[in-house]
Amino acid sequence: MIRKIKIAFDLDGILIDKPPFVPKRLLEWLFKGSDGERLHYRFPKTKLEQLIRKLSHFYFFRPAIKENIEVVKRLAKDKRYELYIVSGRYSFLEKETYIWLKRAGIKNCFEKIFLNLGDNQPHLYKEQILASLKPDIFIDDDDLIADFLAGKFPEVKIFCCFDRGEKCRKAKFINQLTEITS
C-alpha cells in the first residue's frame, strides 16, 4: 500500500479571504494586538468582542479564495492525498466555520478538521496538532506562524502563502496553492 501524502491547510488567508473593505492594519490589531512582530494573538474576552469577531466571520463577509478551493477539490479527488484543516480559530467561531465550509462545498474534502476549541494561542495549538498529525505539508498565510512551525518541524514542508508580498524567513514562500504539488 502506498502511503498517502498528508497536506494540512490553515483556513483564513488560504481558503477564506479577508472581509472586503476592512483595512489590513485593523485586522492585524484585532488578531495580533498592537505589535504585529511578536508571536502573540489576542483572544476576544468580552461578549461584544466575540460578537464582532463572529459577525466578521459570517460567510457573507468572508469570500472563498476560489482558485485555492479548486485546488482543494482537485486534491481531495486524488487518492494519493489526505487533506486536513488546522486552524487557530477560537471556539466561539466553530459554528461559523462549519457553515462556511459547507457553503463552499469543501466540508467533506478533509479527513479531519482541527479547530482551536481550547482557545490556546494559535501558533501553540498548530504546533500541538502538527506534532500528532505529522503532515508532509502545511500551508499558512501568517508569516510569523509559518516561520515558528518551520523551526519546530524541519521534516515538514511548511509553506507561507499570502498576498502581502512579504516573504517568510524559514518557511518556503509560495504565491499560489498549485505550487505545493509541483
Domain CATH code at residue 169: 3.40.50.1000
* Distance from C-alpha of 149 to C-alpha of 80, rounded to nearest angstrom: 24
72 in a structural domain: yes
Q: What is the average pLDDT across 64-84? A: 95
Residue where the block lists cell 512551525: 149
Domain-embedded: residue 70: yes
- pLDDT tens-digit profile of 91-100? 999 999 999 9
C-alpha cell at 101: 465550509
Reading the block at residue 38, the C-alpha cell is 511578536
CA dihedral 15, 153, 32, 174 (to 10 degrees): -40
Is position 162 within any domain?
Answer: yes
**Domain coverage including residue 9:** 5-18+63-181
Asked whether residue 125 is assigned to any structural domain, the reply reads: yes
Q: What is the pLDDT of residue 60?
A: 67
Q: Of 40 and 3, which is predicted with more confidence?
A: 3
Q: Residue 34: what pLDDT?
A: 45
pLDDT at residue number 59: 67
Whether the Cβ atoms of residue 7 and residue 84 lie closer than 8 Å to each other:
yes
CA dihedral 102, 80, 136, 155 (to 10 degrees): 180
Number of domains in the chain: 1
The mean per-residue pLDDT over the stretch 10-17 comes to 90
Between residues 54 and 36, the one the model is more confident about: 54
DSSP state of 178: G
Does 36 have pLDDT greater than 60? no
pLDDT of residue 2: 82
119: left (phi over 0), alpha (psi -120 to 50) or beta: left
Is residue 101, in this structure, part of any structural domain at all?
A: yes
- pLDDT at residue 154, as a whole number: 95
Per-residue pLDDT, averaged over 116-136, amounts to: 97
| Non-local CB neighbours of 27 within 8 Å, separated by 6+ positions | 18, 19
Which ranges constitute the DSSP H helices of 33-121? Answer: 47-56, 66-77, 94-104
State yes or no: pLDDT of 83 exceeds 60: yes
Residue 107 inside a domain? The answer is yes
